[in-house]
Amino acid sequence: MKKNRLQIFVFLIFIFAMQKSAILNSEDAAYAFPFAAGFKVPEDKITDIGEFLIIAIPIFLLMFLFGGRFDNIRSGYGKLLIIRDVRRTKLCFKQVLNLYFGFAGCVLIQTLIFLNTRNGETGTVVKMLVLYYLTITAVLMLQGVLELYIDSVYANIAVLIYFTVSILSGDRFMGQDSGMILHSVLFPNLAFGYRNGCIGSGECSIAFLTILVVNILLVGISVKRFRSCDIF
């Protein structure tokens, strides 16, 4: 399993580099760190599928990289640890922290790869990168929560479909004036500066509040579910 994850991680770095090459001279590279600037809301309300895939494929690979971790503590080695009197709450929080810190490392690598691509205001760039990190972490946490209910393969497919539908439907519904409820339902859109308010109005407080609440809820649900589920 560790060897497979290492292979996926190495391949992910390669994909980050290919992503940079693919969008460096496109309109998507008009702002710094285009992987976090993301998708503009098109005038015709239809995202170009090619542009979508360039931004989304690394995120899909991240789902595979971090997938299965919660399923393992529910139906795999977690049983052995619980038999050895490891507390369920501690075990679940360990997986949560591994996910948050592991993805932080991925974002750091992606950021380093995209350095010096375009310029942007420092404050805007920082907010944009933080929102990207918090939002994709929430996507990965959603996958983890589902793994505590269903098989990891089905959880991965479900979140992949949800992410895709959220972005494509966000073309029609998302905007800087979108309310907190819509932000919550289509929260994957908050990963991208053109949709969360960082680029343009610069007002992204609702996006920050929304994604913090989503993260807290998902962590809380994961702990509660793991404590109550019958893993034996």
For the cut 60, the answer to whether the pLDDT of residue 28 exceeds it is: no
What is the band of 1 on the pLDDT scale with cuts at 50, 70, 90? low
Q: Are 156 and 143 in contact (CB under 8 A)?
A: yes
Whole-number pLDDT of residue 144: 94
SS3 of the chain: helix, strand, coil, percent, to 5: 75, 0, 25
Indicate the range of 46-50, 135-139, 213-217, 228-232 predicted with least confidence.
Answer: 228-232
For the cut 90, the answer to whether the pLDDT of residue 228 exceeds it is: no
pLDDT tens figures, 94-104? 889 999 999 99
For the cut 70, the answer to whether the pLDDT of residue 230 exceeds it is: no
Q: Which residue has the tokens 């895709």?
A: 164
Q: What share of the chain in percent tops pLDDT 90? A: 35
Residue 191 phi/psi, 5-degree rounding, is -70, -15
d(CA 4, CA 141): 21
Whole-number pLDDT of residue 80: 59
Q: Which residue has the tokens 């990891």?
A: 152
Residues 6+ positions from 180 with CB-CB distance below 8 Å: 206, 209, 210
| Angle of helix 2-23 versus helix 49-66 axis, rounded to 10 | 160
Whole-number pLDDT of residue 209: 92
Residues 6+ positions from 10 with CB-CB distance below 8 Å: none
